[in-house]
Amino acid sequence: MNDFFVSAMLLGALSSGDGLPFWATSNRYGIVPDNGFALGVVEARRPFTAGDAGIGNGAAVALRNGFEWQGGVSLACALESRDGGVSAVPVIDELYGGIRWKALRLDAGMMHRTREFLGSDPALGSISSTEGHVIESNNARTMPGYRLVLEPWYVPYTRKHLSISGVWGDYLTTDSRYMQDALTHRLRAYLRYDIAAGFYVQAGLDHYTLWAGSNPNVGKMEVNLKNYFRIATGQSGTAEHSILDQQNKLGDHGGAEQIRIGWDGDGRSITFQYEKPYADKGSMKHYNIPDGIYSLNFSFADKDRWLSDIMLDFHYTKWQSGTIQKSDYDDQGNLLPPDQRPKGTVVGGDNYFNNREYMSGWTHYGRAICAPLFFTGMGPGDVISVRNNRHKAVHLGLSGKFFRTYPYRLMLTAGEYFGTYREPYLPPSSWTSGWKWWQKNTIDKGLFQFSAGLDGSVRIKAERLPGRLSAIYGIYADFGRLLEHNVAATAGISYSF
């Protein structure tokens, strides 16, 4: 059983611009504000014991009959510039508890999301731009709720070749949004087959639904078992729901399909992953290929190397099942009801992570819940939503230890960003052009952006102090046409025991 864990961190920032660069704020649990210059975090937790069921995050104490419980708390306070002054913004980052029995786990409260592709020091974060899950990175604030988890479990009579895992959860949004008090339903399911020693193939589905909530223009969706059953099973709305919910699925549905191939052996591992987002039937039927995030990871088991981990992500989300299908629209450009459209046609413009009724989209406290390269911004009606879901970008993440002692993480990301089909950054848009993804598209013009970040820590020897005392640092930069040119540095101190 692992010991109780307590840590504290103080961090300050100095920037050449009005805010902080991209990698200084992205995938940091949503607690580092864009215009902040100081942050303090205190946390306490105890992780699950390591066993056949895996390793959990939080506090755990072994109970009788194989049961364990966990819990944790993390409090943060940021100093940021507001209206020409300085304001202190306290945040409950995490507050949770849970219980585990064998491969089953039930967690309740506010918890960080699972991170994958960690480098030489997990405290520095993932070296992937998506953290392994394009639908739900740690880019936004946590939401209160519960999740029922099936940790990897081998199917009987498969000689430990076939395993399944998954998550079923429900959460409450707590920010100010277009559909106030909207709920989120989460479903993740994975099937893994271990072909030979160290070699495996995994397929998975990662799905989310925004539902319930109220808005004066849209009305109110009641929270009841009838509506919950319809959103959980992907059914359309009934007469009591809006026209859009009757024509489509009830609520705002989206997600991603994942294929992962990995090999682990001889002190190293190689992983290839393809995640394809979807937003409607067209993309679920794979009309949106080649869209997706293509990832390749190379990692050494020896984390004391100068270079122990390499991550390469390639993002391409420009196609979105195609451009406008004019046969599906009337002469005024309005979308025809499904029963009036010609059979066999496909409506393109999937518009990932956005919705016409849930206009705040897949965001929380102004940040994208999904991978941070899906930039947010102010949209129609002064509503913050995902303003960029069409982009092509390449990301390189490196990690290791300088002089085989001091851990670091280097993040380099370059891309061209187009906005959305209907609201491009640089008009005109290819939305009405009918182009094909395999053809050269000369209509769309994007904004180039390059972002870099270097994080690291240096342990400070303090013989009289138990635990670990470290100096932490960061150097970040943005160059391009989407974000302001900006260079920033952070410095701080962390202590854990």
Domain ranges of the chain: 108-460+474-484
Bigger pLDDT: 438 vs 394: 394
- E strand or H helix at 460, and its extent? strand 447-460
Q: Which amino acid is at 283?
A: S
Tell me how crowded residue 208 is: count the other CB atoms within 10 A of its CB. Answer: 23
Quote the tokens at residue 114: 């699972």
CA-wise closest residue to 34 among 385, 484, 494, 374: 484
Q: What is the mean pLDDT of residues 410-422?
A: 96
Compute the radius of gyration of the chain from its Cα atoms. Answer: 23
Q: What is the mean pLDDT of the chain?
A: 87
Q: Is residue 343 predicted with pLDDT exceeding 70?
A: no
The per-residue pLDDT for range 307-317, each reduced to its tens digit, is 999 999 999 99
Q: What pLDDT, on the 0 to 100 scale, is given for residue 1?
A: 41
CA distance 222 to 234: 17
How far, in Å, CA of 455 to CA of 398, rounded? 11
Indicate the pLDDT class of residue 200, thresholds 50, 70 and 90: very high
Across residues 369-386, what is the average pLDDT? Answer: 91
338-343 average pLDDT score: 65
Per cent of the chain over pLDDT 90 is 60
Residues of the chain above pLDDT 70, percent: 89
Instruction: Please tell me the predicted confidence (pLDDT) of residue 139.
Output: 95
- Return the pLDDT at 57: 35
Q: How confident is the model at residue 52 (pLDDT cuts 50, 70, 90)?
A: very low
Higher local confidence (pLDDT), 45 or 242: 45
Q: Does 78 have pLDDT greater than 80?
A: yes
Read off the pLDDT of residues 244-278 as tens digits, 9 standing for 90 and up. Answer: 777 778 889 999 999 999 999 889 999 999 999 99
Which residues make Cβ contacts (< 8 Å) with residue 265, sequence separation at least 6? 197, 198
Alpha helices in 183-322 (DSSP H): 225-232, 243-247, 281-284
Position 290 pLDDT exceeds 50: yes
For residue 229, pLDDT over 60 is answered with yes
What does CATH list as the number for 108-460+474-484?
2.40.160
DSSP secondary structure code for residue 150 in this structure: E
